[in-house]
Amino acid sequence: MFYMAVQSVVIKEIGMYHPQKKVTHKEMLKHFTSIGKDEQKVEKFLKKIGKEDRYITEDGETTLSMAIEASKTALKKANLSGEDIDILVFSSGTPEYLFPPNSLIIHNEIHGKREAVVYDANSACVGMVVSLDQVSKTLLSSPDSKYALIVGSERMFHYAEKHDPFSYGNFGDAACAIILEKVNEEGQGVLDASYNTDSRYHDDLVFPLCGMSKILDENIPKEEKLFVWKSDLSCGSVFDYGTTQITSLLDKHGLTTKDIKQYLCTQVSFDAVNKMLQPIEEDHKLFVTGHKYGYTGTSSPFIALKEAVESGKIQRGDHIIFWSIGAGYTACALLMKY
């Protein structure tokens, strides 16, 4: 048995921001051939992971500035102001500041109220999905809270090793913000979530590689201050448990795969996620945006949601599933009635 609250938490609106500078597939191939990489091999690899174009920051843009723009867009679309937000969470693995919290600065920029809860969250690339689960529970348990703002933003492209097609050829910069609203309806919005954490892989993706304690050491090469991605995400054990997470959620709530309209998953690798969904014959419902924006980390499932809603693929009342994974690793599947 599971508990269904009288109230529900729904996604009221979505706001996105991406930089203006576009790096095309052709330009990326040119970069790799200029450093001696085999063009055909790189092109084949980028096609496999589903990457063509991406946008990257320039002229002083940061994860924080992108998050502010996405937040303002979401608030405007929701016809709300910063004063309406009770909880504000910033999700990023590449924050502009370690302190003060980036969420505090966003709070200032949107003119938030004194009573608001603000904090930064870092579960790497699964951060926004985890935050959606956790914040929705907090809203339901807080009688005086109604609205929350969760915003995710990354600039991983700029910390990638330029000789590595998987990282440098994969990433794009963007931010996405969602407004959550507590409503007096049953069985809407966030329904449940399932987690899978296997910390044996904690050193597969590390940033900064040298650790923060050595980041100012001038004797350490720059390459060791970037990040190293050891896994090739070939859909091994990292993704194998995803289908179990999904099917267990469906069974728990008396649903089948036929009830799910779309899957909004991490855009890290089309091939890996597509193969993850194939055993349950749901790969045709995977909504893909990585070819347009690159891999934007924590925000990528929600950029997919935004585009799916705008294209009519998802409508109010549809059951959808979010699934994402963060370095280390920890994965979250979240069931929602949109």
Q: Treating both helix axes as pointing N-terminal to C-terminal, what angle do 63-78 and 102-109 enclose, rounded to 10 degrees? A: 50
310 in Cβ contact with 317 (< 8 Å): no
Residue 243 scores a pLDDT above 70: yes
Residue 3 scores a pLDDT above 60: no
- For residues 82-92, give the mean pLDDT: 99
The amino acid at 167:
S
Q: Which two tokens stand for residue 22?
A: 């576009």
Q: Cα–Cα distance between 226 and 239 in angstroms, integer? A: 25
**Cα angle value 318/322/324 (rounded, 5°):** 170
- For residues 198-227, give the mean pLDDT: 90
Q: Which two tokens stand for residue 333?
A: 């599947």
Nearest Cα neighbor of 243 from 127, 149, 333 is: 333
Nearest Cα neighbor of 189 from 16, 331, 324, 7 is: 7
- The pair phi, psi for residue 30, each rounded to 5°, is -60, -40
Residue 228 scores a pLDDT above 80: no
**Whole-number pLDDT of residue 289:** 98
Q: Cα–Cα distance between 272 and 290 in angstroms, integer? A: 13
Residue 284 scores a pLDDT above 50: yes
Residue 214 scores a pLDDT above 90: yes
Run of H or E residues at 136: helix 127-141
91 in Cβ contact with 131 (< 8 Å): yes
Domains of the chain in sequence order: 8-186 (3.40.47.10), 190-337 (3.40.47.10)
Q: Cα–Cα distance between 123 and 59 in angstroms, integer? A: 28
Output the pTM of the full model: 0.94
Give 233-299 as a DSSP string.
--SSHHHHTHHHHHHHHHHHTT--GGGEEEEEE--S-HHHHHHHHGGGT-GGGB---HHHH-B-GGG
Size of the chain, expressed as the number of residues it contains: 338
63 in Cβ contact with 90 (< 8 Å): no
**Whole-number pLDDT of residue 1:** 42
- For residues 138-151, give the mean pLDDT: 98
Q: Enter the DSSP assignment of 220.
A: S
Run of H or E residues at 246: helix 242-252
